[in-house]
Structure 1
């Protein structure tokens, strides 16, 4: 019982800390499972940590979400758009490619791309790409400058994140930086974009859980949800306060080192 609770805390903390950082949460979750021989945490636990992560990002951006939703719904009636309503539409447009890709390619990814070497390779490749874009791209645009083309490109990038090790936040931030957004607005748009996709993924997993017959250990799910929410909120808050000053290079370097560790673990 103590060991199961300890494992739940560790895995939920890893999920919460890495869900919104551009470092690949799946790359981190495979390490304790491989090193300690832990079994997969299971579908119910995945749902719990998704709920925790979603609550964290919703709470941090609650004022912005309220303004965006209010203006978006008002625009449906008045046909007049504000910066917030436009941003709402951009989030919707950018979400569509990942949803479609998930429906079309989910089974293929589960069967063919959930290997340790794929995970390590994508951790490395997209980490290097993040560093290059952060170093050489111009970062002068703001959220108000996001166009339909921007939203589609960032949405296509988010669809690529279905491949394990890519990092959803990492590749959407990379795409936003490549298009010229400043670092803090790139992160902000990535976090806003995470809400519908985390909700969709959590709902899909919840449906699988309801249709299944496995017993549910509610105490472990509660631990997972709470720890994931607290660590994710802390992570978002620190990241948003630091990102403009320190940039993405520390995360790019960290990803390269993580990939090296993953390759070493897989080869040993």
Structure 2
């Protein structure tokens, strides 16, 4: 792959992974609309790893608390805020891990990677995000996360396996409807992304190891580095913007892109 191609793929993944606009949808559209070669599994894993390190670094305080709590959770104790946070993250990850594993085994990924599917999900779930953001209350903060809410947000996260839905978008939508303020909804969504990215990266990584194509090691490192920087930029931008602006700008972008894709697909 050329350096420019690596940069484009990494920028798309890094900038859209945490914004509610669907990174998987944009990555599918890149080869579908431009005709460039698909980046392949190895690069997919690389950009996932890059975004993983970015979100861990950005939310390190919360991640550290969850890691320390995980040690207590493994001993069967849920007696600290960290252990409870770790339990909530575990529960929220189970639905997407199970559904993702089934889809992977059944080989259904390609059936969902179409411009039509992405157009409808981009448009439809964008409008749902707008509705949830405008009608949801803001009575809860991230510190009020409950097992019930973690389960509901986890179930919604499984929908993000359909390209164009957006993992962050659908979990933020669920959180806003559950009454979390915008910053809390985004923060919980980002924390939920960590075990989810690890799970999806592990599945993709196993396939890469099977192919054992180590000639792309340089490309892998470059893509991971670019994605890391792009993801940090996107996280910083969104979390700062939420202090004064709603999710409406992302909704507008989703609706316009969805309509353009549908016109393109059906014309």
* TM-score normalized with structure 2 length: 0.93
CA distance in 2, matches of 1:261, 1:199: 33
Corresponding position: 1:193 with 2:178: no
SS in 2 for 1:161: helix
1:101 is matched with which residue? 99
Work out the CA distance in 1 between the residues paired with 2:19 and 2:198: 18
Deviates more, 1:66-75 or 1:179-188: 66-75
Residues 70 and 264 of structure 1: CA distance in aligned 2, closer, same or farther (over 3 Å): same
Determine the structure 1 residue equivalent to 2:126: 127
Q: Distance between the aligned counterparts of 1:162 and 1:186, measured in 2? A: 20
Which runs of structure 2 are paired with 1:51-130 in the superposition (5 Å)?
51-74=49-72, 77=75, 79=77, 81-106=79-104, 107=106, 109-130=108-129
Could you say if the C-alpha distance between residues 244 and 24 of structure 1 is closer, same or farther in structure 2, counting changes exceeding 3 Å? same
- Deviation track 1:16-41 (CA, whole Å, cap 9, x = no partner) reads 00000000112322443234310111
Cα deviation for residue 61 of structure 1 reads 1.1
1:17 aligns with 2:12: no
| CA shift for structure 1 position 214 | 4.4
Instruction: Determine if contact 1:31/1:262 at 8 Å carries over to the other structure.
Output: no
Moved more, 236-245 or 164-173: 236-245
Contact 2:77 2:83 survives alignment (8 Å): no
Distance 1:78 1:114 in 2: 41
Equivalent residue runs for 1:16-55 within 5 Å = 16-55=14-53
Task: Tell me: CA distance 1:8–1:264, structure 2 relative to 1, closer, same or farther (3 Å).
Answer: farther
SS at match of 1:245: coil
Does the 8 Å CA contact 2:28/2:113 hold for their aligned counterparts? no
Q: Is the 8 A contact 2:26 2:164 kept in 1?
A: no
Q: CA deviation at 1:245?
A: 1.6
Counterparts of 1:219-238 in structure 2, within 5 Å, are 219-238=218-237
- Number of aligned residue pairs: 266
Shift, 1:112, TM fit: 2.6
Aligned partners of 1:131 and 1:249 also within 8 Å: yes
| Structure 2 unmatched runs, 5+ | none
Q: Deviations over 1:87-140 (max 9, x none)?
A: 221111100111111122333531432222111111111000000110111121
Which is further off, 234-243 or 110-119? Answer: 110-119
Pair 1:244–1:266, CA change in 2 (3 A):
same
Aligned residue runs from structure 1 range 159-198, under 5 A: 159-198=158-197
The 1-side partners of 2:78 and 2:254 are apart by 43
State the match for 2:254 in structure 1: 255
The separation in 2 between residues aligned to 1:177 and 1:146, in whole angstroms, is 12
* CA distance in structure 2 between the aligned counterparts of 1:14 and 1:105, rounded to whole angstroms: 24
Tell me the TM-score normalised to structure 1 length. Answer: 0.93
CA–CA separation in structure 1 for the residues paired with 2:100 and 2:52: 19
Distance 2:10 2:43 in 1: 9
